């Protein structure tokens, strides 16, 4: 029988024409997506079903009220099954080799029998094509590994919103049995502080042959790192890598010792050649052993939770305050008075808060 001819045949590898609005397609698809009862997701997650885990994370990322409602129920029921993992933050400027490193590192871990989940905090991915981390071609080998679960950053929202979704995703991944959870960020901004507040171990990936000024890494990020690993220590770069190592070792000496009791370490690797990757994992295992023995591991997680609770309280209160009708009415008046030096800022703030609380 002759093959049916159609102009609409989709050829593998052929990109859809630019006229197709990807956002519109996505919206159409998500609108049609059926929400199952929370039990379905919880059972699937506990059975470590990757497809159901991914669907549950989609609910977490959604802003639709009915999705949020289902998401919080799923979360609540997964919470007792969470916590049993090593949470690792990995950061570095674009080009430092994060995805190459995570791919090699992840493969090493799954080879050792670990189940590895990779999440990302990348608020830039909300801006159309501006994502720094969300490139789909990354970590191709690892994504085909049944022991690994890779989730690009939530695609919209403020840094706080994206970070919250990432944290909630950690809980679901742990409930699904992932015992190593990696949170990746781009080492250029605020995302690192968010990532730091949800992981046990924070790793900064640097390039050999470029000073840290060149790499735009802020002092604060170095200060919050448990390890600085110089990547691309291969070929002509080896000497530069050694020089960089010495430099970072010195930089780390300048900071007071962290409360974990761990002395931040430096190391080098070649993610491309798969060299030094095992040593990084050994370093993390040593950290976990030390901090579990001295109690910091558990204490730190509790403290992170309490901080998250307070931050959330503060955010919620601020939002409620600014949404208040009376506040909305009085705010411009007070701003005008401040500009005209009719009232000082402190009294203005106090008056407004007092007015809000008296209602």
The verdict on 153 binding ligand GDP (CB under 6 A) reads no
Cα angle for residues 68, 70, 73 (degrees, 5° grid): 105
Whichever of 181 and 207 has its CB closer to ligand GDP, that residue is 207
Does 185 engage in binding with ligand GDP (CB under 6 A)?
no
Contacting residue, 16, 37, 95, 220, with ligand GDP by CB under 6 A? 95
Q: Smaller CB distance to ligand GDP: residue 231 or 266? A: 231
Applying CB under 6 A, does 245 fall inside the site for ligand GDP?
no
Identify which range of 33-41, 114-122, 167-175, 230-238 contacts ligand GDP by CB under 6 A: 230-238
Q: Cα–Cα distances in Å, from 154 out to 7, 124, 125, 164?
A: 35, 10, 8, 10
For residue 268, state whether it binds ligand GDP (rule: CB under 6 A). Answer: no
**Residue of the chain from 153, 231, 260, 266 that contacts ligand GDP (CB under 6 A):** 231
Please, which residue, 207 or 348, has the CB nearer to ligand GDP?
A: 207
Q: How far is the CB of 116 from ligand GDP (least distance, A)?
A: 16
Whose Cβ is closer to ligand GDP: residue 238's or residue 327's? 238
Residue 207, helix vs strand vs coil? strand
Closest-CA residue to 304 (of 78, 69, 83, 81): 83
Asked if 97 interacts with ligand GDP (CB under 6 A), we say yes
| Contact status: 267 vs ligand GDP (CB under 6 A) | no
Non-local CB neighbours of 213 within 8 Å, separated by 6+ positions: none
What are 348's two structure tokens?
């203005």
The beta strands (E) that lie in 112-246 are given as 116-121, 148-150, 180-186, 201-207, 227-231
Q: By CB under 6 A, tell whether 196 contacts ligand GDP.
A: no
Task: From 74-82, 123-131, 266-274, 336-344, give the range in contact with ligand GDP by CB under 6 A.
Answer: 266-274
* Under rule CB under 6 A, residue 206 binds ligand GDP: no
CB atoms within 10 A of CB 231: 26
Nearer to ligand GDP, 45 or 205 (CB): 205
> What dihedral do alpha carbons 293, 298, 299, 304 form, nearest 10°?
140
x/- letters, 270..299, toward ligand GDP (CB under 6 A): xxx---------------------------
**3-class secondary structure per residue, 226-286:** CEEEEECCCHHHHHHHHHHHHHHHHHHHCCCCCCCCCCCEEEECECCCCECHHHHHHHHHH
Q: Which DSSP letter does residue 147 get?
A: T
Q: CB 94 → ligand GDP: shortest distance, Å? A: 4
Residue 106 sits in the site that holds ligand GDP (CB under 6 A) = no
Place of tokens 């000082």: 344
92 belongs to the binding site for ligand GDP (CB under 6 A): yes
Helix (H) or strand (E) holding 17: none
**What is the Cα Rg of the chain in Å?**
24
Name the β-bridge partners of 206.
230
Q: Which residues have CB under 8 Å from 260's CB, separation 6+?
A: 226, 287, 290, 291, 294, 296, 300
Query: For residue 121, how far is the Cα from the chain centroid?
Result: 3
Residue whose Cβ sits closest to ligand GDP:
97
Is residue 228 a contact point for ligand GDP (CB under 6 A)?
A: no
Looking at the Cβ atoms of 60 and 233, the one nearer to ligand GDP is: 233
Binding status of residue 238 toward ligand GDP by CB under 6 A: no
Does 99 sit near ligand GDP (CB under 6 A)?
yes
- Rounded distance between C-alpha atoms, residue 356 and residue 346, angstroms: 15
Residue 94 in contact with ligand GDP, rule: CB under 6 A: yes
Binding residues for ligand GDP (CB under 6 A) = 92, 94-100, 231-232, 234, 270-272
């Amino acid at each position: 029988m002759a093959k049916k001819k159609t102009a609409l045949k989709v050829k593998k590898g052929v990109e859809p024409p630019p006229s197709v609005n990807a956002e519109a397609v996505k919206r159409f698809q998500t609108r049609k997506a059926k929400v199952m009862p929370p039990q379905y997701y919880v059972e699937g997650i506990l059975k470590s079903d990757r497809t159901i885990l991914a669907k549950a994370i989609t609910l977490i990322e959604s802003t639709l009220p009915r999705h949020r409602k289902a998401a919080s129920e799923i979360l609540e029921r997964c919470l007792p099954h969470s916590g049993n993992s090593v949470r690792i933050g990995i950061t570095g400027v674009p080009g430092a080799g994060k995805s190459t490193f995570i791919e090699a590192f992840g493969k090493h871990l799954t080879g050792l029998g670990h189940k590895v989940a990779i999440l990302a905090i990348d608020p830039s991915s909300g801006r159309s094509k501006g994502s720094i981390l969300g490139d789909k071609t990354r970590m191709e080998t690892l994504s085909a590994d049944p022991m690994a679960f890779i989730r690009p950053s939530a695609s919209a929202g403020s840094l706080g919103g994206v970070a919250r979704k990432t944290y909630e995703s950690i809980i679901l991944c742990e409930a699904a049995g992932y015992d190593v959870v990696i949170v990746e960020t781009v080492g250029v901004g605020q995302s690192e502080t968010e990532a730091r507040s949800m992981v046990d171990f924070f790793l900064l990936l640097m390039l050999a042959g470029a000073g840290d000024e060149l790499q735009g890494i802020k002092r604060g990020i170095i200060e919050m790192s448990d390890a600085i690993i110089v990547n691309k220590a291969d070929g002509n770069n080896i000497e530069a890598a050694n020089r960089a190592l010495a430099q970072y070792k010195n930089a780390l000496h300048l900071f007071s010792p962290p409360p974990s009791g761990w002395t931040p370490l430096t190391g080098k690797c070649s993610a491309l050649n798969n060299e030094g990757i095992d040593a990084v994992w050994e370093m993390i295992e040593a950290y976990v052993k030390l901090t579990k023995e001295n109690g910091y591991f558990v204490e730190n997680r509790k403290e992170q939770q309490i901080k998250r609770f307070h931050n959330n309280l503060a955010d919620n209160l601020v939002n409620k305050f600014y949404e208040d009708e009376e506040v909305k009415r009085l705010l411009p008046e007070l701003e005008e008075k401040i500009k005209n030096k009719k009232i000082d800022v402190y009294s203005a703030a106090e008056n407004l808060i007092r007015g809000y609380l008296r209602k």
